[in-house]
Amino acid sequence: MAERQAENVVATITARWADLALEEEEVAPFAPQLDESEGAAAGKAERWMLLGRFLTNKLVKVEYMRQVMAAAWQPVTGMQVSEIKPRLFMFTFHHVTDIQRVLNDGPWPFENATLICEQLVEGGFLDDVVLDTVQMWIQVHGLPMGYTSDKILEQIGNYLGTFVKGDDRVAGAPWKVFYRIRLAIPVEKPMKRRLNFVKRDKSTCWVTFKYERLHNFCFYYGKLGHLYKFCRMARDSVLPVEEYPYSTELRAGIKRGPRAVGEHWLLPTQEQQPRTSEAAAGQSGVAELALPNSSREEADYVMKAVAKRRKEGYAEEEGRRVGNNGDVTMTDLSKNLFMAGAGSQPHPSS
């Protein structure tokens, strides 16, 4: 009995000392000592790391994404890309100007999905990096005269998101069509389209916004990262797409399409010809185009020249096809030309 009690006392004391040792180990600071040679080697191989994710629910193909982003950034000393967590990527650069360009010239897309990224500072932790904003340039249109100071632009930027900086490329200009500010836009909130601007005399005007390098976003409620086609709210809505609050008008830039640089020389097609009265058509027998005198003369000249070339070309073609003895000769046709027009050729009747 006494031996059993002694064993229990020893076990209790051992447990107490074990707990005390663990507590001391947890509280005691640990300061590793770096070798001078290791520090010098680390200084030679400097690295700048970027943590980022793409605003998409699709699976990101890492190998393909690496090629696309490297071609877009073109780092002077190369880069590495690794997936550290599902849909979370680490971009490692070896020159400070490479990471500066990525941060300053964004946002960057992959398959039209916006990349939101933040730089990792030395001694930081991955869990401390919050990826919930994306920096982009915003165009402010419709500001009244006298309300374009840097202070007002900063207040507008903080209304839209978080103001980062203004555009100083044309600083000091007396008037601009629009003003550019760089902001950190929260990705979980809808983007703002306009602002009811109150002037000093209490009158109001609408100030509109356009977003540069804007990628996928929902036309229904203006959130970044997905399309209205896959939005539950948009599908439950009875509104047609044309009446959604947002559209491509939110994107800044020149609209795509041909410019009217050759309009002066173009003749109207049959669908574009203006209708003439039956009396005028009956007197002349031909519907006359409503063109100015100078344009009418040029049009007549062009039409005559085209008719002449067609006539000469037809005669020349007939001369090649029919020989001096009246025999029909075969002409060489390009295989590509034959294949291109094969769809429009009539099929021989059986």
Q: What is the pLDDT of residue 68?
A: 95
Sheet holding 133-141, edge to edge: 162-166, 178-186, 133-141, 204-211, 194-198
What is the pLDDT tens value at each position of the chain, 350 positions in all?
Answer: 666 666 776 677 666 655 555 555 566 676 666 665 554 444 456 899 999 999 998 899 999 999 999 999 999 999 999 999 899 999 999 999 999 999 999 999 999 999 999 999 877 788 888 999 999 999 999 999 889 999 999 999 999 999 999 998 777 776 788 999 999 999 999 999 999 999 999 999 999 999 999 999 999 888 998 888 888 888 888 889 888 999 999 999 755 666 777 777 878 776 666 554 444 444 444 444 444 454 555 556 656 666 666 666 555 554 444 444 444 444 444 444 333 344 444 444 44
Which residue carries 């009217």 as its tokens?
Answer: 260
d(CA 49, CA 96): 10
d(CA 92, CA 87): 16
Q: What is the pLDDT of residue 334?
A: 44
Among 241, 185, 173, 232, smallest CA distance to 211 is for 185
d(CA 47, CA 61): 25
Q: Tell me how many degrees the CA angle 142-135-82 measures, rounded to the nearest 5.
A: 155
Element (H, E) at 79: strand 79-85
Q: Tell me how many degrees the CA angle 171-173-178 measures, rounded to the nearest 5.
A: 90
In the structure encoding, which two tokens stand for residue 182, read together?
Answer: 């760089």
Residue 135 pairs in a beta bridge with 184
Element (H, E) at 24: helix 2-27
Q: What is the pLDDT of residue 309?
A: 65
Full-model pTM: 0.63
d(CA 296, CA 289): 8
